[in-house]
Amino acid sequence: MLEHSSKQSASSWTTLCLLAFFIGTSYGLISHSWSISRTFEIEEQTQFHRQENRAALRQKNVTPSSTIGYGLLAATGACCLLWPASGRLCWRSTLVWLGAAYLAWSVTSVVWATSSAVCIRKVGILALMFISITGMVRKVRLNDLAWMCIIICLSFIVLGIFAELAQGTFRPWQAGYRFSGTVHPNSQAMHAALLCIACGCLLGTQRRSRWILLGILGIGFAALVMTKSRTSLGALLAAGLVTLLLRVRGPQRILLATTAISLLCIAGIAYSFTTSATADSTLDIASMGRRENVSSLTGRLPLWKALATRAADRPFLGHGFGSFWSSKNIRKYSEMFAWSIPHAHNAYLDIVLMTGMIGLLLYLAWVLSSLGVAVIRHETTPTSGVLFAICLILFSLVHGLAESKFPSHGMGSYFLFFALVILATRPSNTITDPEEGPVEFGR
């Protein structure tokens, strides 16, 4: 019996690693480049008007590598349909209908899109993502999703370090350095934050691999700090604090919340008595050494003001899913504010631009309802997988205040959508995962 269980566990890990490999390879083809750290370094030293607007070029032309990547992602999910499902799935839950309503509205926006070609392409990518998720949800539970997140994100960070060493751009000791690896620093920060979230949530139930997870968590946090991404770090800390409150029970939860609030108040009072030199040093630490345009949130406030007027032109329907950020508008706003602007740097404003207030309400209804369901399940039967879903949703909500990574076509959104679909389709009595390793795919 023990030998049979061991063989099943080995088979589960093999399948899990294969799925992680195909997802990682897909997004590697979609958005990664071996020499991007060198390109980013050159762009940082070059005046904006002399730079090539790569975001506008990508939006104008379909790249073969991204086409192959999204195709591979969908094909992986389709192949999972050939295997028997692991556990019972329910496709008639309220969360499924909420998610379907948001997706249906996004697809319908093709009818009134201001740029039909861009909208059709973005809707097609969204469809490929959900084909992948719909197939893999038959084999992947929340606990598995956290392990897959660790495998993929750690691989991207390690690969990024090797890429920078090969390019000669790995110089974390220099002022102004931002770790990018094979993607933009903000995207690398997303990988590092997801790695920290997955490791932190699994630590509570893993005994044999606890020290390994702690080591990987340290690598993820170090990589996040090197990217100097304030949005990802702030969102991670906020989500981590709420998740920590969920870990404890009864009086300990009240004590922890009271302590956190008290420390914030004491810090605020102490800051008011500091000298100007100390305050300046504190601001430098808080801004992670990036002091440029701090008062305007690195140029975001003027951008949001300009985009809000465009959103007001079509407040309920929007400009079509993904169609507002055509190559023309990317160039227009990039030249207007003299920095590369491929999106609104605010998820909620971007949703309004795409699908209007109706789309924003549908998205928030889906995400917040899923968060509520996850919290109730965790309060009833605490598991590392459900905790991972809670932390991921909270991270996306806070992160969206200053970035547009959620919802989008990136890997962060893929994991978020994946977690939402698992919560929607797997009843609470089948959501519990084993404490050690992934679930057994043969069941």
Domain count, the chain: 1
State the chain's maximal CA–CA distance in angstroms: 69
128 within a domain of the structure (yes/no): yes
On the 0-12 / 13-18 / 19+ scale of CB atoms within 10 A, 154 is buried
User: Which stretches within 168-250 are classed as H helix?
Assistant: 185-202, 210-227, 230-247
How does pLDDT run across 204-215, given as a tens digit for each residue? Answer: 777 778 899 999
6 within a domain of the structure (yes/no): yes
Average of per-residue pLDDT across 191-215? 89
- Residue 299's alpha-carbon distances to 44, 62, 121, 296, 404, in angstroms, are 16, 29, 29, 5, 15
How does pLDDT run across 86-104, given as a tens digit for each residue? Answer: 778 888 899 999 999 999 9
How does pLDDT run across 348-368, given as a tens digit for each residue? Answer: 999 999 999 999 999 999 999
Instruction: Choose the weakest-confidence range: 154-158, 182-186, 216-220, 258-262.
Output: 258-262
- Residue 161's alpha-carbon distances to 48, 166, 177, 188, 404, in angstroms, are 27, 9, 13, 11, 25
- Residue 224's alpha-carbon distances to 243, 340, 381, 412, in angstroms, are 19, 22, 31, 15
Instruction: Choose the weakest-confidence range: 36-40, 311-315, 435-439.
Output: 435-439
| Predicted pLDDT of residue 339 | 79
323 within a domain of the structure (yes/no): yes
* Sign, CA torsion 426/362/130/198: negative
Judge contact between 73 and 79, C-beta under 8 A: no
Q: Which residues of 306-345 are buried (b: 16+ CB within 10 A; e: fewer)?
A: ebeebbeebeebbbbbbbbbbbebbbebbeeeeebbbbbb
177 compared with 88, residue with greater pLDDT: 177
What pLDDT band is residue 263 in, cutting at 50, 70 and 90?
A: low
208 within a domain of the structure (yes/no): yes
| Predicted pLDDT of residue 245 | 83
Instruction: Choose the weakest-confidence range: 36-40, 77-81, 177-181.
Output: 36-40
Residue 431: phi and psi, rounded to 5, are: -80, -20
367 within a domain of the structure (yes/no): yes
95 within a domain of the structure (yes/no): yes
125 within a domain of the structure (yes/no): yes
Place of tokens 């990988």: 191
- pTM listed for this prediction: 0.89
259 within a domain of the structure (yes/no): no
What pLDDT band is residue 247 in, cutting at 50, 70 and 90?
A: confident
328 pLDDT above the threshold of 70: yes
How does pLDDT run across 287-323, given as a tens digit for each residue? Answer: 444 445 444 456 789 999 999 999 999 999 999 999 9
194 pLDDT above the threshold of 90: yes
What pLDDT band is residue 416 in, cutting at 50, 70 and 90?
A: very high
281 pLDDT above the threshold of 50: no
245 compared with 269, residue with greater pLDDT: 245
Cα(202)–Cα(219) distance, integer angstroms? 16
Query: Six-digit token pair at 222?
Result: 């170090």
- Domain extent, residue 323, equals 2-249+299-430
Average of per-residue pLDDT across 23-40? 92
Angle at 399 between CA 108 and CA 299, to 5 degrees: 95
With CA atoms as reference, report the closest residue to 409 among 74, 30, 96. 30
Judge contact between 398 and 241, C-beta under 8 A: no
